[in-house]
């Protein structure tokens, strides 16, 4: 009962039991992820999270509409690196809010964002979308992995803030798309344990400024597909929990 929205007809969506249907929007970015991971790393991770969460929600008897991934995002930290597409934050807010409002108007109870791009500008843009949708009476759920509640469920490297194109992200891409990983380079990359969270607090605004001249942080050489599978399972649980919480609070209000 996981449906790709783009593959359905409008009548098929109309005929879904709206009260038991939710939507999932994978949100990533096209940005530099070290010399070893593809520019679309966050899209790959977001889609893995969305799929894992959707399977869990479907197992509870819900219908899940899978939206196409949002690949364009503000990416100021990586903007200096070739291939990175840095788009206006306002555009992200408007597109995400517009999509959620459309689904809400068609009776879909909740839209959930499976986000894998943690640049503060993007996180802020998604929070703004949530606020805008709530204002108009819809429900947009955003389990923000940079918040302690969710982050503490992920790996030590993720929690340390040294988690861009390192062990955490490298592991998930190894699990999902090993063909896109430069495995000739990855095992030899030196660790870069500088925390992006600390760098952001200090006021740094670029990966280079934060001490990541090659656009990676953390421990890429330690990535494994096994850890990637484990992380995807946790990401799926987080998405499931956030959606179920929203559905429960929704029904207790009405």
- Cβ closer to Zn ion: 103 or 223? 223
| Rounded CA separation 22/37 (Å) | 32
How far apart are CB 159 and Zn ion at their closest, in Å?
15
- Cβ closer to Zn ion: 72 or 108? 72
Of residues 81-140, which lie at the interface with Zn ion (CB under 5 A)? Answer: none
Total chain residues near Zn ion (CB under 5 A): 3
| Rounded CA separation 124/206 (Å) | 17
Q: Report the SS3 class of residue 212.
A: coil
Of residues 163-182, which lie at the interface with Zn ion (CB under 5 A)? Answer: 169
Name residues whose C-beta falls within 8 Å of residue 165's C-beta, 6 or more positions apart in sequence: 32, 33, 34, 36, 37, 41, 215, 216, 217, 218, 220
Interface pattern 13-52 for Zn ion (x via CB under 5 A) = ----------------------------xx----------
- Cβ closer to Zn ion: 76 or 106? 76
How far apart are CB 165 and Zn ion at their closest, in Å?
6
How far apart are CB 216 and Zn ion at their closest, in Å?
10
Query: How many residues would you count in the chain?
Result: 254
Contact segment (CB under 5 A) with Zn ion among 51-59, 137-145, 162-170, 205-213 equals 162-170
Contact segment (CB under 5 A) with Zn ion among 3-11, 16-24, 92-100, 161-169 equals 161-169
How far apart are CB 106 and Zn ion at their closest, in Å?
32
b/e 117-154 (16+ beta carbons within 10 angstroms → b): bbbbbbbebbebbbebbeeeebbbbbbbbbeeebbebb
DSSP state of 80: T
| Rounded CA separation 177/1 (Å) | 25
Select the residue whose beta carbon is closest to Zn ion and give its number. 42
Chain residues in the site for Zn ion (CB under 5 A): 41-42, 169
């Amino acid at each position: 009962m996981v449906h790709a929205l783009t593959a359905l007809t409008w009548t098929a969506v109309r005929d879904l039991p709206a009260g038991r249907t939710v939507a999932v929007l994978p949100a990533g970015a096209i940005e530099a992820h070290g010399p070893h991971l593809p520019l679309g790393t966050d899209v790959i991770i977001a889609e893995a999270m969305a799929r894992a969460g959707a399977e869990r929600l479907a197992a509870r008897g819900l219908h899940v509409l899978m939206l196409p991934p949002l690949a364009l995002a503000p990416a100021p930290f990586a903007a200096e690196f070739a291939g990175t597409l840095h788009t206006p934050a306002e555009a992200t807010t408007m597109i995400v809010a517009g999509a959620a409002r459309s689904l809400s108007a068609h009776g879909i109870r909740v839209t959930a964002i499976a986000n894998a791009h943690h640049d503060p500008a993007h996180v802020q843009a998604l929070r703004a979308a949530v606020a805008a949708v709530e204002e108009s009476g819809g429900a947009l759920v955003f389990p923000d992995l940079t918040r302690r509640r969710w982050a503490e469920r992920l790996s030590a490297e993720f929690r340390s803030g040294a988690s861009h194109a390192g062990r955490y992200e490298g592991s998930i891409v190894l699990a999902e798309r090993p063909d896109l990983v430069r495995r000739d380079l990855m095992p030899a990359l030196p660790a870069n344990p500088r925390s992006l969270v600390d760098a952001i607090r200090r006021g740094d605004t670029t990966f280079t400024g934060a001490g990541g001249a090659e656009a990676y942080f953390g421990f890429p050489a330690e990535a494994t597909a096994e850890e990637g599978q484990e992380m995807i399972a946790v990401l799926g649980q987080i998405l499931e929990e956030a959606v179920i919480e929203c559905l429960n609070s929704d029904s207790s209000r009405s």
